[in-house]
Amino acid sequence: MKIAILADVHANLEALEAVLVAVEKERADRILCLGDIVGYGPDPLGCIYRLKEVKAQTVLGNHDQAMVEPSYIQSFNRLARPSLYHAREVLGEEEIDYLSRASLRRIEYNAVFAHANPLKPEAWEPLHMHDKIMWCFERLDWSLCFVGHTHEVGIYCKLHNRPLPLTSTTVAIGAHQYLINVGSVGQPRDGDWRASFALWDLDRQYVELQRVEYPIQRTQRKMVEYDFPVYLTERLAKGE
């Protein structure tokens, strides 16, 4: 059994399509999406449509929550708001319903899946500080934890009561506890513009992080057409 885990698609259909092709090549049996399907990008409808089509199971992200509770859009910064209003306009009842049915976290096998901190998922607390990751490690009942939200790929291993960041892109699951940030499909912020996702091979017990290229200019052109903030369009190419 292979599960593909993707997060922070952010309405980037070109990036999502490239990831779905890679997932297909890897013969993954299932797709799990860690939220933030909408926001920032130009294709919220297309992304939800494709994820439904491949029967992805999804947990809720903070941008998705803004679709279910539109008054929440006000709490986002001025860069995020235009794309969220655009998404709310183009999504139909069916898509809003799909998002509203997403849970705040999932537990399967020996793993927990959430958009942000899985121990208080409704707080949308990002996990990029070591003390936050350690706080999680001390309380996690599962040997694996998959998250997104920060748009920065990372594998952390709990070793001698400290979170040790690993530099490899593949990790054999076994003796230790791991927290894995699968990075972002549609708006990576770790200096690499390519779409990011993870594959969990449950038979061979390893997790692999992958990056795939996609036709970025096509996404950027649509963002310009929709008059989204220039910074959002430019950051895609820089991966920041």
Stretch that binds Zn ion, among 2-10, 74-82, 136-144, 223-231 (CB under 5 A): 2-10
**Beta bridge pairs of residue 138:** none
Q: Which is nearer to Zn ion, 14 or 36 (CB)?
A: 36
Q: Among 3, 4, 8, 20, which residue interacts with Zn ion (rule: CB under 5 A)?
A: 8
- Expressed in angstroms, the distance from the first to the final Cα of the chain is 33
Stretch that binds Zn ion, among 8-16, 163-171, 196-204, 209-217 (CB under 5 A): 8-16
Contact predicate 66/91, CB 8 Å: no
Stretch that binds Zn ion, among 29-37, 124-132, 136-144, 196-204 (CB under 5 A): 29-37
Half-sphere exposure of 157 (CA within 13 A, CB side): 15
The token pair that represents 31 in the structure block: 């797709």
Per DSSP, helices labelled H in 26-170 are: 44-53, 62-68, 81-90, 93-100, 130-139
Q: Which is nearer to Zn ion, 11 or 173 (CB)?
A: 11
Q: What single string gives the DSSP state of each residue in 51-63?
A: HHHTT-EEB--HH
The torsion of the CA quartet 133, 139, 144, 149, rounded to 10 degrees, works out to -40
Q: Which is nearer to Zn ion, 8 or 95 (CB)?
A: 8
Smallest gap from residue 148 Cβ to Zn ion (A): 7
Smallest gap from residue 234 Cβ to Zn ion (A): 18
Q: Which is nearer to Zn ion, 4 or 171 (CB)?
A: 4
- Residues that contact Zn ion, how many (by CB under 5 A): 2
**How many helices (DSSP H) and strands (DSSP E) are in the chain?**
8, 12
In the bound complex, which residue of the shown chain has the CB atom lying closest to Zn ion?
36
In one-letter notation, the amino acid at residue 20 is L
Q: Among 3, 18, 34, 36, which residue interacts with Zn ion (rule: CB under 5 A)?
A: 36
Q: Which is nearer to Zn ion, 36 or 95 (CB)?
A: 36
64 binds Zn ion (CB under 5 A): no
Interface contacts to Zn ion, rule CB under 5 A: 8, 36
